Chains A and B, each alone.
Chain A
């Protein structure tokens, strides 16, 4: 439903795992408790198995059927649901790939903005100035709101005939008749813009934590060597933030690919079907039209794309051993 609602916040620690020491007491703990790690993991494992692993397997099983859960017969159809997604003259084909394209467009434009703007905000917020906490709160505040709130709010603000956005744009001499929610590409500008406004606070907070982890001695040393602000940014800040960057890039990517609520509430997938994202199409197919098998197949295809993209991000942010 929402984007960017990760449970696990916080930057990964930069410090490595503590080395096991050779004292007798720690050896005793290790001996007595082969089961200890499992016990610690148990609550999470139970949830993981019940709500992640089982649904994954069951979903794959469903995708091999014509599965309408209200009907007694759910005939096995093998890979037919997948084949239809890749057969240009099937009814699902155009809808699904149109939705995949919409998801692609949204991801392409939202991810770079959600990587760079929060970084700029975090760099500003890391400086000491009066009212800093107030501004930090201002940037984070929208993230607290649910997607239903921001969707309805912006639907009215962006309405091209009665909304405030066009009204104010007209007052300052800008075009005042842009159809923000009923025409493309304006609808994409609106959806990406609202999403950036809504979620940049989360990424900014993580960047901020990462920035504070970079030792200030490095900057001091660089300044003594006469490095400019830009050189400091490129040679200290960016490398220091790398683990944080890869975390932010990955979670932002996943959240953007899973976008649904914004277009469901603000544009209703319109004009026509142009802003129907993949999740929107999957929800419509499975929950409203009862074609669970086809919807499950769609979600597996989407998952494959997401895995491929995630691997690409991992590769881009990998630890480079170039000797410097």
Chain B
């Protein structure tokens, strides 16, 4: 793992050994550099009938909408048949590199924005610049941040389908009983609401999760407090700056002030919300359909601005093209037709609870009357992780562990986040070295 502290002798030894190994021909595997997807894309596909495998992780309330869209696409295109393979996202990010490296990758797929650069750096996916040229897609039709985050080393690797962020959900019955008429929007009104809910008999109105999505809350709060969790050069983590510590202190404070029970285990804050045991929860907008189906009386709103700036964590599903061991120009073109169609028809995707990424689609009224409409209005305040290879790993190895320890009260927020930030900085330096930036 290219340890920065490796001794000179170690390096020399490694270099000599590398030569020996190369001579033995034992490192002969894997391609070199990034390759453009084969052939120029013309915008249409009139070749022989092809079948495309489409990998994605839409296992939640979004799954059925994706299936419907694929069916419609297949019905409209005689010579292209898309069959989708859906798996958990966590599996997806392990399986995709393995499959592509083995030459068994899919023809097209969708992944999260914050994984694009890692996958690009690992040569798992190929640039799609010709696609944006043909479709005349430009940053003008997207929010700047989501559009820019799809670029790695001057090449574009993803076409954004949607934007999804954290949102605040609240139990309208509880709010009514507590006499709260409007969703809280800042620290003062939020605390006021919590106090009123407690007075109305809801002892723990806002459960603070110790794992997912607690680190996403933390990122949102850091941004709200004017802190960049990762600096622009992506070589240092700033979770433990004074502003960063204020963010985690606020989260731990929710527990210490008794608004949340302690030791909230994974998923239980969401289950508690559905059961009416807690009144407010912050979770992803992808939960909308699930809440809708549960039949409870709830409402959604943007998360309150606890600190100075309006900001909320967000991510985006992006279409991508995997590297192929033996590129098939027909399949590559058909896959591009598929991506283009999905992007143009992303209004339908709004039914899944997501916000279509294209402004033109939103302008045509895709979100009218949808539960996420109010959240989408804040799209300009949505913040994305920087497009840095390995950032996903940095998050799980450091920030999530630090937030977990701090929220549980295992360590003081300062200790937990200082350790997390130090580890993250080390990891990012190592990543930089290993991805050769």
Contact = CB atoms under 8 A, between A and B. Distances in A.
A75 B18 contact: yes
Nearest to B269: A161
B21 A271 contact: no
A74 B122 CA distance: 13
Nearest to A184: B410
B21 to A, nearest CB: 5
A293 B1 contact: yes
Contact of B265 (A71, A81, A182, A272): A182
A91 B31 CA distance: 30
B397 to A, nearest CB: 7
Contacts of B207: 161
Interface stretch (A43-51, A105-113, A120-128, A284-292): A284-292
Contacts of A71: 30, 122-123
Contacts of A66: 1-2, 434
Contacts of B32: 72
Given A74-B27, A78-B13, A162-B272, A181 B397 contact: no
A162 B275 contact: yes
Interface in A246-266: none
A290 B426 contact: no
Contacts of A78: 10, 13-14, 17
Contacts of A181: 265-266
Contacts of A162: 268, 271-272, 275, 277
Nearest to B426: A91
A290 B96 CA distance: 12
Interface in A49-92: 66, 68-78, 80-81, 84, 89-92
A152 to B, nearest CB: 10
Interface stretch (B139-147, B256-264, B312-320, B359-367): B256-264
B427 interface: yes
Interface string B94-111: 100110110000000000
A266 to B, nearest CB: 9
B318 to A, nearest CB: 19
Contacts, number: 123
A206 to B, nearest CB: 34
B251 interface: no
A289 to B, nearest CB: 5
Interface residues on A, range: 35 or more
Interface in B396-411: 396-397, 401, 404-405, 408, 410-411
A14 interface: no
A248 to B, nearest CB: 33
Contacts of A74: 27
Contacts of B3: 80, 84, 90-91
Nearest to B396: A288
A70 B98 CA distance: 7
Contacts of B101: 69-70
A271 B267 CA distance: 15
B265 A160 contact: yes
B210 A91 contact: no
Contacts of B405: 271-272
Interface in B73-122: 93-94, 97-98, 100-101, 122
A76 B17 CA distance: 6
Interface residues on B, range: 35 or more
B20 interface: yes
Given A160-B265, A162-B268, A270-B210, A70 B30 contact: yes
B211 interface: yes
B393 interface: yes
A183 interface: yes
A188 to B, nearest CB: 15
Contacts of B10: 77-78, 80
B381 interface: no
Contacts of A199: none
A3 interface: no
Given A72-B31, A161-B261, A272-B401, A290 B410 contact: no
B30 A72 contact: yes
A182 B123 CA distance: 38
A160 B408 CA distance: 13
B149 interface: no
Given A160-B265, A162-B272, A70 B21 contact: no
A15 B216 CA distance: 63
A70 to B, nearest CB: 4
Nearest to A75: B18
A242 B108 CA distance: 58
A273 interface: yes
B264 A80 contact: no
A165 interface: no
Contacts of B18: 75-76
Nearest to B102: A69
Given A76-B20, A160-B265, A288-B94, A182 B408 contact: yes
A203 interface: no
B98 A69 contact: yes
A142 to B, nearest CB: 22
Contacts of A101: none
Contact of B268 (A76, A161, A270, A289): A161
Contacts of B277: 161-162
Given A75-B18, A290-B122, 5 more contacts: A70-B124, A71-B122, A76-B21, A90-B3, A272-B411
List 6 tightest A-B contacts by C-beta distance, closest first. Answer: A179-B263, A76-B17, A72-B30, A70-B122, A182-B263, A272-B405
Interface of A: 66, 68-78, 80-81, 84, 89-92, 155-156, 159-162, 179, 181-183, 268, 270-273, 287-291, 293-294
23 contacts: A66-B2, A68-B122, A68-B434, A70-B97, A72-B32, A72-B123, A73-B27, A76-B17, A78-B10, A78-B17, A80-B3, A80-B14, A155-B265, A159-B265, A160-B265, A162-B275, A270-B404, A272-B410, A287-B94, A288-B93, A288-B393, A293-B1, A294-B1
